C-alpha cells in the first residue's frame, strides 16, 4: 500500500511554552485505519491540525495525498475529509440542508444524488428534513461523518469522533467507521483516548505520549510484545514506592514491576502461579492488598510499559 499521510519530526509549541509535539513521526497507508491513541493533551489534535492545514509546525515536514501541507495547502484540502472534535453542523438547518451546503461549497455537480446516497448510507433519511438541533448525539455525529465524505476524499481524519456519545451512539459510529474501512480505499486517521475504540477499529496504531510516538504496530503486535500475563494488585493504601517494589522484586516469575498510585503491576509467564508468592511477600512487608487481577495483556498494559504509568492516570497531558 502507498503512503497517504506522512509526518516527519513534527515540533509544535504554543504560546506560554506549552509543548504539543516533540518530534512526532508517522505514516498512514492508503486503505487502512491508523489510530493515534493517547490521553487528552498528548498531542493528537495538534497533529491533526497540522495535517489538515489548520496549524503550522515549528519544524518538521508532512505530506497528505502526496501534497506538502505547507507548500500546497489548497491541494491538501481538496483531498481530505475532516470530522473535528466539535461538531461543525448548523443546528438550525435540516440534515439535508447541511449536506447540500457542503456539496455546493465543493462545487459538486448533481449533488442531490450524492446527498440522498449519504443520508441513506448513514441511516438518516427519515430525519433528513428536521432541524439538526433535535437529533440525538449519535445521529448528529453520523451526519458529521457524512459531511466529511460529500466530495469523496482520499484521506479521512476523525478527531475523537465518539467523545460524548452514549454507548449505543458509539457502537453505531464504530460500525460506520468499520464499514468505511472495508468498502472504501481511503486512508483513515483516527485519534482517540478510548482504549477499546483503538483496539477495535485500528489496523495499526501509535501510542502518543508527551507529543511523541512511544510505540507503534498492530494492536495484536503491541500486546504480543508483553509475554505472559498481566498481574495487577490494588493496594489498600498508597505505599512507599521503593518498599512495595522491593517487596515483590524477588518473587519468582515476576518482572517489569511498576507502581502507579495504589496499583502495583507486573508481568508473569504464569500469573496464577506467581500471585500467592506476591501476596505473601507484600503481607510480610506490611502492605495490604485489596484486589488482585490476572489477565492477558491489554493496550493499557502496553501504555504502562512505554509511558511508565497507566493510561487513565491523572496528569498525563503533554
Instruction: Convert the pLDDT of each residue in 41-53 to its tens digit.
Output: 889 999 999 999 9
pLDDT of residue 29: 92
Query: What domains does the chain contain, in order, with CATH numbers?
Result: 3-218 (3.40.50.300), 227-296 (3.30.70.2470)
Distance CA 66, CA 95 (A): 33
- Write down the mean pLDDT value for the chain: 89
C-alpha cell at 86: 466539535
- Amino acid 152: pLDDT: 92
pLDDT (average), residues 286-310: 85
Contacts of 263 (CB under 8 A, 6+ apart): 232, 233, 234, 235, 310
Task: Supply φ then ψ for residue 10, to 5 degrees.
Answer: -75, 130
If you average pLDDT over residues 98-104, what whole number do you get? Answer: 95
CB atoms within 10 A of CB 252: 9
* % pLDDT > 70, the chain: 97
> 50, 62 in Cβ contact below 8 A?
yes
Per-residue pLDDT tens digits for 167-190: 888 888 888 888 887 777 789 999
Q: How confident is the model at residue 314 (pLDDT cuts 50, 70, 90)?
A: very low
Regarding pTM above 0.75, the answer is yes
Residue 261's pLDDT band (boundaries 50, 70, 90)?
confident
Amino acid at each position: 500500500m502507498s503512503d497517504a499521510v506522512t509526518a516527519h519530526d513534527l515540533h509544535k509549541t504554543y504560546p506560554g511554552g506549552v509543548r504539543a509535539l516533540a518530534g512526532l513521526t508517522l505514516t498512514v497507508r492508503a486503505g487502512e485505519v491508523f489510530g493515534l491513541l493517547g490521553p487528552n493533551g498528548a498531542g493528537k489534535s495538534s497533529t491533526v491540525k497540522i495535517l489538515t492545514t489548520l496549524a503550522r509546525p515549528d519544524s518538521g515536514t508532512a505530506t497528505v495525498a502526496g501534497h506538502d501541507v505547507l507548500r500546497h495547502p489548497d491541494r491538501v484540502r481538496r483531498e481530505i475529509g475532516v470530522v473535528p472534535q466539535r461538531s461543525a453542523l448548523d443546528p438550525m438547518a435540516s440534515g439535508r440542508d447541511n449536506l447540500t451546503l457542503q456539496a455546493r461549497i465543493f462545487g459538486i455537480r448533481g449533488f442531490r444524488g450524492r446527498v440522498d446516497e449519504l443520508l441513506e448510507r448513514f441511516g438518516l433519511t427519515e430525519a433528513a428534513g428536521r432541524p439538526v438541533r433535535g437529533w440525538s448525539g449519535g445521529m448528529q455525529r453520523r451526519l458529521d461523518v457524512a459531511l466529511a465524505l460529500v466530495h469523496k476524499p482520499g484521506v479521512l481524519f476523525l478527531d475523537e469522533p465518539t467523545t460524548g456519545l452514549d454507548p449505543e451512539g458509539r457502537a453505531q459510529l464504530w460500525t460506520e467507521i468499520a464499514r468505511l474501512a472495508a468498502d472504501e480505499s481511503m486512508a483513515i486517521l483516527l485519534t482517540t483516548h478510548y482504549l477499546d475504540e483503538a483496539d477495535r477499529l485500528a489496523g495499526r496504531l501509535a501510542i502518543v505520549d508527551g507529543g511523541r510516538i512511544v510505540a507503534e504496530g498492530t494492536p495484536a503486535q503491541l500486546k504480543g510484545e508483553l509475554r505472559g500475563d498481566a498481574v495487577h494488585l490494588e493496594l489498600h493504601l498508597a505505599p512507599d514506592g521503593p518498599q512495595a517494589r522491593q517487596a515483590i522484586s524477588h518473587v519468582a516469575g515476576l518482572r517489569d514491576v511498576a507502581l502507579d498510585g495504589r496499583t502495583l503491576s507486573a508481568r508473569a509467564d504464569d500469573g496464577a502461579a506467581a500471585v500467592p508468592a506476591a501476596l505473601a511477600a507484600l503481607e510480610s512487608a506490611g502492605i495490604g492488598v485489596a484486589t488482585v487481577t490476572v489477565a492477558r495483556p491489554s493496550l493499557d498494559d502496553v501504555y504502562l510499559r512505554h509511558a511508565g504509568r497507566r493510561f487513565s492516570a491523572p496528569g498525563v497531558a503533554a
